[in-house]
């Protein structure tokens, strides 16, 4: 029902939002928070209902803790597989073909179909409002939730949510700088993360059985995730050279170029995404074995804390780390957070703080030794300026390598800034410092030559209105 009414609700909220951003001179960071608030106002209610689906489904399917522990990874994996299918289908087919409103109606139709199936399975005659609002269990549930907040596994699932958002923010920006700031960047990276969560859930279901095996899998997986993230981020930062090679040797259509993006992203970041995605289902399987509360409540608590971690990662990564410290620190924060996850794993299994010293040293090594991104390469914009060369051999007869071409045509980087909304860079010719231009996400949007009239015009407009 909310999906059918969404367009009208969005129009109503827009009437409240528009005067705030047009009639006031709010700074950009505050504007980001205003946008965040209004987006939450619009989508909180439906996402609240969506968030209840998996815990309720787990409660319906599995009655005991043992059943839940054995099957929750598979259930979460299938749930994520559905999210992956929805991301690809909506991002690459529904939205480009039918637009926003019809895509929303299509999603609403799916929910109506599911409601009809559930109505056939459970007619209203068998429904009781007491089942929906079990008030007598509220005090017990509150005590269980309070006790759970002191459990390391609860904070591990919280951290796994933050890790997923750190990765998504980082890889979204790197993809926009490598392939161009296209509307297809979001479904590309989101589907890669969802695919990783699905594969991680499959691995968790396959390699975790007993409690001891699950702990071992969780520790080894989290440890392997650290080098996978560092190596994957390094190669992702080199993607502009791959795009340079592709654009100089071929002229792919949209479909083939999309497959190319999926292929190289899969090579660079899918292993890291899979390792990160395996943390939550494995930790959830372990937490559901706890005896201090019922199985269904453990899923609700863990899933809620995971989404809380997602929200925290979005705010901390998108509004603090990325705009104030940049991509390099966000990349290191992702790897160091995995070290923190290892600390929580050891804390539960060993109940000692002795492992904090080597893990602290490992975190310092990551911060100091992780390679930084080459800013001139990230802002090169090779996705935009194509080199028309018919034969790859002819191309290599002019340049020894892709790097040599980049070094020959690179320009001095005067300034660089990562922001919540994009990456801005200023460049100049080495032999002529007066010749400068600025780029947004690698695309030149203004310079001191042909674009100077447009830039001045954009500068005059606000002065005239003021």
Residue 246 CB contacts under 8 Å (≥ 6 apart), including other chains: 252, 260
390: pLDDT strictly greater than 50: no
Q: How large is the average pLDDT for residues 31-56?
A: 85
Global pTM exceeds 0.85: no
* Positive/negative CA dihedral, 257, 259, 262, 264: negative
Residues forming a β-bridge with 415: 426
259: pLDDT strictly greater than 80: yes
What pLDDT sits at residue 277?
92
**Which has the higher per-residue pLDDT, 266 or 406?**
266
46: pLDDT strictly greater than 80: yes
Beta-carbon-side half-sphere exposure of residue 380 (alpha carbons within 13 Å): 26
Query: How far apart are alpha carbons 401 and 407 in whole angstroms?
Result: 10
Band (397; pLDDT cuts 50, 70, 90) = very low
Q: How large is the average pLDDT for residues 255-271?
A: 92
Highest mean pLDDT among 65-79, 276-290, 318-332: 318-332
Highest mean pLDDT among 80-84, 135-139, 281-285, 462-466: 80-84
Nearest to 444 by CA among 417, 420, 463, 425: 425
Query: How far apart are alpha carbons 190 and 188 in whole angstroms?
Result: 6
Report yes or no: 273 and 195 within 8 Å, Cβ to Cβ. Answer: yes
Query: How far apart are alpha carbons 463 and 306 in whole angstroms?
Result: 47
Residue 170 CB contacts under 8 Å (≥ 6 apart), including other chains: 233, 317, 327, 330, 331, 334
Give 81-139 pLDDT, tens digit per residue.
999 999 999 999 999 999 988 999 999 999 999 999 888 887 766 666 665 555 455 55
What pLDDT sits at residue 172?
95
**Which has the higher per-residue pLDDT, 460 or 350?**
460
| Whole-number Cα distances in Å, 45 to 6, 89, 331, 347 | 11, 24, 32, 36
Token pair for residue 237?
């930062």
- Other residues' Cβ atoms within 10 Å of the Cβ of residue 125: 5
Backbone angles phi, psi at 415, to 5 degrees: -155, 155
278: pLDDT strictly greater than 70: yes
Query: How far apart are alpha carbons 442 and 427 in whole angstroms?
Result: 11
**Which has the higher per-residue pLDDT, 141 or 431?**
431
């Amino acid at each position: 029902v909310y999906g059918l009414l969404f367009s009208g609700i969005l129009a109503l909220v827009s009437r409240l939002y528009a005067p705030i951003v047009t009639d006031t001179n709010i700074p950009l960071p505050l504007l980001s928070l205003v946008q965040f608030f209004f987006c939450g106002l619009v989508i909180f209610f439906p996402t609240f209902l969506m968030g209840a689906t998996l815990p309720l489904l787990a409660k319906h399917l599995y009655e005991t803790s043992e059943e839940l522990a054995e099957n929750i990874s598979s259930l979460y994996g299938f749930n994520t597989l559905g999210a992956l299918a929805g991301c690809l289908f909506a991002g690459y087919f529904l939205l480009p073909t039918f637009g926003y409103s019809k895509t929303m109606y299509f999603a609403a139709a799916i929910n109506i179909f599911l409601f009809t199936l559930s109505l056939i399975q459970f007619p209203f005659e068998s429904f009781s409002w007491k089942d929906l609002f079990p008030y007598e269990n509220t005090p017990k549930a509150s005590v269980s939730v309070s006790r759970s907040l002191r459990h390391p596994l609860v904070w591990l699932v919280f951290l796994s949510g933050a890790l997923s958002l750190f990765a998504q923010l980082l890889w979204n920006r790197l993809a926009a700088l490598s392939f161009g700031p296209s509307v297809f960047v979001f479904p590309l990276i989101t589907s890669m993360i969802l695919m990783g969560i699905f594969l991680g859930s499959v691995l968790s279901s396959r390699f975790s059985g007993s409690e001891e095996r699950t702990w071992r899998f969780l520790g080894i997986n989290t440890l392997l995730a650290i080098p996978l993230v560092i190596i994957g981020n390094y190669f992702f930062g080199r993607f502009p050279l791959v795009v340079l090679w592709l654009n100089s040797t071929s002229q792919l259509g949209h479909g083939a170029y999309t497959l190319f993006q999926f292929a190289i992203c899969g090579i660079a970041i899918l292993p890291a995404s899979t390792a990160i995605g395996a943390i939550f289902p494995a930790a959830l399987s372990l937490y559901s074995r706890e005896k201090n509360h019922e199985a269904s409540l453990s899923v609700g608590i863990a899933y809620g804390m995971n989404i809380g971690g997602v929200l925290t990662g979005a705010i901390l990564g998108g509004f603090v780390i990325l705009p104030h410290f940049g991509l390099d620190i966000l990349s290191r924060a992702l790897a160091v957070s995995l070290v923190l996850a290892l600390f929580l794993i050891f804390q539960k299994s060993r109940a000692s703080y002795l492992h904090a010293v080597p893990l602290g040293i490992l975190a310092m090594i990551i911060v100091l030794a992780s390679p930084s991104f080459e800013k001139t390469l990230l802002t090169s914009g090779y996705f935009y300026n194509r080199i028309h060369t018919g034969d790859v051999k002819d191309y290599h007869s002019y340049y020894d390598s892709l790097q040599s071409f980049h070094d020959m045509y690179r320009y001095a980087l005067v300034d660089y800034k990562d922001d919540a909304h994009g990456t801005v860079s200023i460049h100049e010719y080495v032999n002529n410092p007066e010749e400068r231009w600025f780029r947004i996400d690698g695309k030149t949007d203004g310079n001191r030559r042909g674009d100077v009239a447009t830039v001045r015009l954009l500068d005059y407009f606000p002065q005239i209105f003021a």
